[in-house]
Structure 1
Amino acid sequence: MNDTLPLATPLEDASDSDPLDDIEEASTRSFDLALHQSVYRFGRLYSVIHRDQHPWPIDELEQDRLEEQSILLCELFRGRLFLAPIESPRSVLDIKTGTGCWAIECADRHPASTVCGVDLVKMQHEWVPPNCEFFIDDICQPGWHTHYKDMEFIHISQIHGDRQLLSLLLEGSYSCCIPGGWVEICDMSVQLEESGENSPFHGFFRDIATAYARDGRQLNPPLHFGTELAQHGFVNVTAHSYLIPLCTEGCDQLMRGIVRNWAAGLEAYSLALMEKHLGKGYLETILLCASAREALRKGIKGVLQIQVVYGQKPGFN
């Protein structure tokens, strides 16, 4: 059943109230409902607000996948939530927080800290630790960072190939980070050894690359994270790369789990953009994803590269 909400609800009759208060209340209520407005497309639930900037589902299926991904990455990082050399940051900003699971875990592990999670869309948990809070904000606009100040650590993930957004986020992060504070970016990309092959996986990958490019996105921004951090004024920039074979035969359970989780998201990555830019319908894209996963199971030469890059704002002692 579609749980789409109206953008606004009628105001109750309150003849003694101040008209300006009524207008402000109506505006606030309308904005709050807009954050929760959603629509079913391709059998998946999408947020209506900022749908061009976030053309990915926000339903329970995707939330579960993202939360599993966060657990797998934490295991890959040997139990660490971040790799930057800071032990217990007092103020943390988690940008593109998604379900908020990373921010919640960070708040639980560091009860003396204040953790803020921010994203374009509403898919965060309602029950959070007392030192954790979530905000829905248009982080695609210059000046988004003015709401967040004096951060010791800023965590950024899942920019989905948008280098313009990455630049805005790093510009804002530099402004709201304290001198000596750290910014860390984590994301993943696929590197194929034989990109010219004609397997269903290679065909799907070429299609999604075309769709992303027409949407102003790229598939390999993680390779440029270090350069972007340095260009935005950060120093002590350090990169860590984890190469997970796409052909998981002989790999341990963790590597197989990471690839399986990533492959489970093929529909989420592609449905909206394939339709918008390539004219592919729901059934065609579903079949392409299924064929790509089958080819992946048979063995594809290449790696899923998980890139973690951090840098420090200068001005520290």
Structure 2
Amino acid sequence: MVNETGAAQQDDGGQEWIHIPVSDAAAIEVDEAYGDELLDDTTSVASTIYRHRYEHGRRYSKFRENSYWGPNDDIQNDQLDIAHHMVRVLLDDKLYLCPIKEPQRVLDLGCGTGIWCIDFADEHPGAEVIGVDISPIQPEFVPPNCKFELDDICDPWTYPENHFDFIHIGSLLGSIADWPKLYEEIYNHLAPGGYLCQLEMDIRFKSDDGTVPDDHIMAIWSKTFIEAGEKFGKTFKIAEKCKQYIIDAGFEDVHQVKYKLPCGGWSSDPKMKEVGRWNFLHCYQGAEGWALFLCTHVLEWKIEEARVFIAQFRKAVKDRNTHSYFEVVSVYGRKPLE
């Protein structure tokens, strides 16, 4: 990671980057339509970090280009916020399950729009909350105890070791090439007794009544993403692997909680019906952004093939006779006191 103090660091291509918090950087955003001629001797950050790239009508992050498959435009950001609300309903309005009390230093990895950090900062005004992401999509006006940093969590960390009370991960499936290395960083930078809490979605659509057989488009959708993730080198199966990885990293008192997350309002349970309606919107709105890069870049499909695949999935999601769901897994563990 780049240094919090603003020290320069070079990437593999020799480009020098200067770290500044996202909330302080809004004034120097450079439009994609203009080139580096806008940079002068007083510019403190490479414009390529704050530019975006556009493909098939969607906007993607320019920083660490092609290292993440999802767009960062308003459509996808709304989907991320929908997912956040959906999970809060699922967890009975909780932001996390681990039994941590009065955390002082909190880190959210892959914070996305920053909504989890903002909610956490509001609920814990005595905590310092840092959200880290490779895309500068977080708001400028946030609680005073919350800040955002543009960085790649897969780089070596420069935070002090034994520093954080709580590190949170939310839905980084398909985003990390070396999970054991990341858990090692997390372990080293948590204070003794500090908690890691991770929540992931198992993207394999299922049904208990046979309405999602193996040849159903929703089952094929899941298999396609898993295949693309393995080819991309960043697994989409972390939900089933994270508990053992966390144990292997040295954490103790590791707990795992699984939830069924319906897709659509078909459940007779009032809470699950509400969650399912949010998940329908989450899947329907998110589908194009999830699939475009992976299908065209990784699986090398033609764009027309990808769009047909997305349309078929959206049609299936709207089918009220399909009682589909996937699982959400929350795993948390504590770093030993000694």
TM-score range normalised by the length of the shorter chain: 0.7 to 0.9
Q: CA deviation at 1:287?
A: 2.1
* CA deviation vs aligned residue, 1:82-107 (integer Å, no higher than 9, x gap): 11101321111011000001001111
Q: Helix, strand or coil for the counterpart of 1:46?
A: strand
Q: CA deviation at 1:297?
A: 3.0
CA distance in 1: counterparts of 2:101 and 2:35, whole angstroms: 43
Give the stretch that moved more between structures: 282-291 or 72-81.
Answer: 282-291
Q: CA deviation at 1:149?
A: 5.8
CA contact (8 A) 2:122 2:143 kept: yes
Q: Helix, strand or coil for the counterpart of 1:210?
A: helix
CA contact (8 A) 1:38 1:46 kept: yes
1:151 aligns with 2:164: yes
**What is residue 16 of structure 1 aligned with on the other side?**
none
CA distance in 2: counterparts of 1:304 and 1:123, whole angstroms: 28
CA contact (8 A) 1:92 1:153 kept: yes
**What is residue 83 of structure 1 aligned with on the other side?**
97
Q: CA deviation at 1:161?
A: 2.8
CA contact (8 A) 2:105 2:163 kept: yes
Task: Select which of 123, 127, 135 maps to 1:113.
Answer: 127
CA contact (8 A) 2:204 2:326 kept: yes
1:313 aligns with 2:327: no
Task: Select which of 112, 115, 132 maps to 1:101.
Answer: 115
* CA deviation vs aligned residue, 1:245-299 (integer Å, no higher than 9, x gap): 3464234122221243134212111101110122223332122112112223334
Q: CA deviation at 1:219?
A: 2.6
Q: Helix, strand or coil for the counterpart of 2:125?
A: coil
CA contact (8 A) 1:150 1:176 kept: yes
**What is residue 186 of structure 2 aligned with on the other side?**
173
TM-score, length-normalised on structure 1? Answer: 0.86
Letter in 2 for 1:59: D
Q: Helix, strand or coil for the counterpart of 1:164?
A: coil
**What is residue 230 of structure 1 aligned with on the other side?**
247
CA distance in 2: counterparts of 1:218 and 1:282, whole angstroms: 23
Letter in 2 for 1:311: G
Q: Helix, strand or coil for the counterpart of 1:29?
A: coil
1:92 aligns with 2:123: no
Q: CA deviation at 1:312?
A: 0.3
CA distance in 2: counterparts of 1:162 and 1:234, whole angstroms: 22
CA distance in 2: counterparts of 1:152 and 1:11, whole angstroms: 39
**What is residue 23 of structure 2 aligned with on the other side?**
none
- Number of paired residues? 300
CA contact (8 A) 1:187 1:308 kept: yes
Give the stretch that moved more between structures: 59-68 or 206-215.
Answer: 206-215
**What is residue 51 of structure 2 aligned with on the other side?**
37
Could you tell me which runs of 5 or more consecutive residues in structure 1 were left unpaired when the two chains were aligned: 13-21
CA distance in 1: counterparts of 2:48 and 2:193, whole angstroms: 38
1:199 aligns with 2:216: yes
Letter in 2 for 1:126: E
CA RMSD of aligned residues (A): 2.4
CA contact (8 A) 1:6 1:34 kept: no
TM-score, length-normalised on structure 2? Answer: 0.81
The 3 A distance-change label for structure 1 pair 173 and 116 is same
Q: Helix, strand or coil for the counterpart of 1:61?
A: helix
Task: Select which of 286, 289, 301 maps to 1:280.
Answer: 301
**What is residue 218 of structure 1 aligned with on the other side?**
235
CA distance in 2: counterparts of 1:122 and 1:148, whole angstroms: 26
Task: Select which of 45, 62, 69 maps to 2:76.
Answer: 62
Identical amino acids, percent of aligned pairs? 27
* CA deviation vs aligned residue, 1:184-227 (integer Å, no higher than 9, x gap): 11110133457863333333333333222210133321111110
The 3 A distance-change label for structure 1 pair 201 and 98 is same
